[in-house]
């Protein structure tokens, strides 16, 4: 994949005087849905703003599909941003806002209006199209921001905390829209501090803390790189105490915790591969009925806790 198909940041730093925004970030982001996670103040919004040229890097370079953010006339034909800010021009209706955006993309007023209405329909705002955005609820403002970001059908979509303020149905609909865009091969980068939602959205993450990228890639790969933490494996079965007893015969198993309800256990091991190799023999020897065997800590929450610490996050 060449630079014209990727988002590339090389040695990007941003300082606000003495205050650190992001520090020496190197990233390459391919198509699909990528979650950008980190606690408040980690540098997520700064990164989004650097990617869209709303702020300039103190050093380093940014390229979006080969385009510099310093060329907005080229960049925003391919990029849409759903920003963190909820403010809109006073008196603007949802329809007028999108219509103006689309006219800037070269559409005639009538076509712009039609496309604006389509985008508003996509986010479920048809009925409120003619109302002033100032009067929208927080959730409606999130929707109109999304509509404004995607109305020109960009190849790259950046979303800064897009799920804030949405009700459960709204979140589900928003996630469906993002997955649909990613399914078309577009780049979708979603920042969030709500970790279980990132798990729902994306298999690939960028984890930030203190202005630095502390991990990036597929969640499973990131987890496997954390070698100082034993792998946790959830086994749902009958007679979990027998599994625990046999597991402790393996030197790499460091803990086995029977679940409160008794229907299974969590095994902690320093060698997941060996454990998975030996497990079928245990099952056959003991005549166990096994329901599921799954990694218990290959999710964003666990990775986040290992790398950043539970106090760093919310949700």
Partner 1 sequence: MNAGFRVRQMKTVAGVDFRRTLGGRRTLGLVLFCSIPVVIALVRTFVFPEGARMDVGRTTHELAQIFSLFHLRFIVFFGCAFLFVKSFRGEVLQHTLHLTLLLPIRRSDLIIGKYFGALAVALSVLLPSTLALVVFYRLANGVARTFQLMTTSQGLGHLAAYLGITALAAVGYGALFLLAGLFFRNPMVPAALYLGFEALAPYLPFPIRVFSIGRHLHALLPVPVSLGPLAVTGSDTPGWLAIILILGVAAVAVRLAGWRAQGFEVDYS
Q: Is residue 183 within 8 Å of 214, Cβ to Cβ? A: no
Minimum distance from residue 150 beta carbon to partner 1 (Å):
12
Q: Measuring CA to CA, which residue among 262, 260, 232 is closest to residue 247?
A: 232
| Strand pairing class (231-237; 264-269) | antiparallel
Please state the closest distance from residue 67 (CB atom) to partner 1, in A: 11
State which residue, 35 or 53, has the beta carbon closest to partner 1. Answer: 53
Q: Phi and psi for 119 in degrees, rounded to 5?
A: -65, -40
User: What contacts 196, CB < 8 A, 6 or more positions away?
Assistant: 300, 301, 315
If the CB atoms of residues 158 and 304 are measured against partner 1, the closer one turns out to be 158
Task: Specify which residues 189 forms β-bridges with.
Answer: 34, 158
CB closer to partner 1, 14 vs 209: 14
What DSSP line would sit under 183-215, residue for residue?
Answer: HTT-EEEEEESBHHHHHHH-SEEEEEETTEEEE
Nearer to partner 1, 52 or 232 (CB): 52
Shortest distance (Å) from residue 100 CB to partner 1: 5
Question: For residues 108 and 251, which CB has a smaller minimum distance to partner 1 in the complex?
Answer: 108
CB of 102 to partner 1, least distance (A): 10
Distance CA 72, CA 54 (A): 10
Q: How far is the CB of 309 from partner 1 (least distance, A)?
A: 28
Tracing tokens 């298999």 back to the chain, one arrives at 203
Assigned token pair, 256: 């086995």
Minimum CB separation from partner 1 for residue 176, in Å?
A: 24
Could you give the CA distance from residue 43 to residue 212 in angstroms, rounded to a whole number? Answer: 8
Name which of 89 and 183 has its Cβ closer to partner 1: 89
Four-CA torsion 87, 88, 91, 95, nearest 10 degrees: -140
Nearer residue to partner 1 within complex by CB, 154 or 230: 154
Q: Token pair 């949700």 is at which residue?
A: 315
Q: What's the min distance (Å) between Cβ of 217 and partner 1?
A: 29
**Interacting residue ranges for partner 1, rule: CB under 8 A:** 49, 52-56, 70-77, 80-81, 83, 85, 87-92, 97, 100-101, 103-106, 148, 152
Residue 145 and residue 259: Cα distance in Å, rounded? 44
């Amino acid at each position: 994949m060449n630079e014209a198909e990727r988002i590339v940041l090389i040695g990007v730093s941003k300082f606000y005087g003495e205050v650190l925004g992001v520090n020496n970030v190197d990233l390459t982001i391919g198509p699909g849905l990528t979650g950008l996670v980190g606690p408040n103040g980690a540098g997520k919004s700064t990164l989004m703003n650097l990617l869209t040229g709303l702020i300039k890097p103190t050093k380093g370079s940014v390229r979006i599909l080969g385009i510099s953010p310093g060329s907005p006339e080229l960049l925003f034909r391919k990029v849409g941003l759903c920003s963190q800010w909820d403010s809109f021009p006073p008196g603007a209706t949802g329809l007028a806002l999108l219509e103006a955006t689309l006219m800037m993309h070269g559409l005639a007023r009538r076509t712009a209006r039609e496309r604006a209405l389509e985008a508003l329909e996509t986010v479920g705002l048809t009925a409120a199209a003619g109302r002033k955005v100032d009067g929208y609820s927080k959730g409606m403002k999130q929707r109109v921001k999304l509509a404004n970001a995607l109305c020109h059908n960009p190849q790259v979509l950046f979303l800064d905390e897009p799920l804030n303020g949405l009700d459960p149905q709204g979140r589900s609909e928003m996630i469906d829209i993002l997955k649909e865009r990613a399914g078309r091969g577009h780049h979708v980068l979603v920042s969030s501090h709500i970790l279980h939602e990132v798990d729902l959205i994306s298999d690939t993450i960028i984890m930030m803390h203190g202005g630095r990228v502390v991990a990036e890639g597929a969640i499973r790969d990131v987890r496997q790189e954390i070698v100082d933490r034993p792998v946790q494996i959830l086994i749902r079965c009958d007679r979990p105490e027998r599994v625990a007893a046999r597991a402790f015969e393996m030197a790499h198993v460091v803990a086995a915790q029977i679940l409160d309800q008794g229907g299974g256990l969590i095994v902690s091991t320093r060698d997941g591969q060996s454990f998975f190799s030996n497990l079928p023999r245990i099952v056959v020897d003991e005549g166990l009925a096994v329901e599921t065997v799954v990694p218990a800590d290959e999710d964003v929450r666990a990775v986040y806790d290992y790398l950043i610490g539970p106090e760093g996050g919310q949700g």
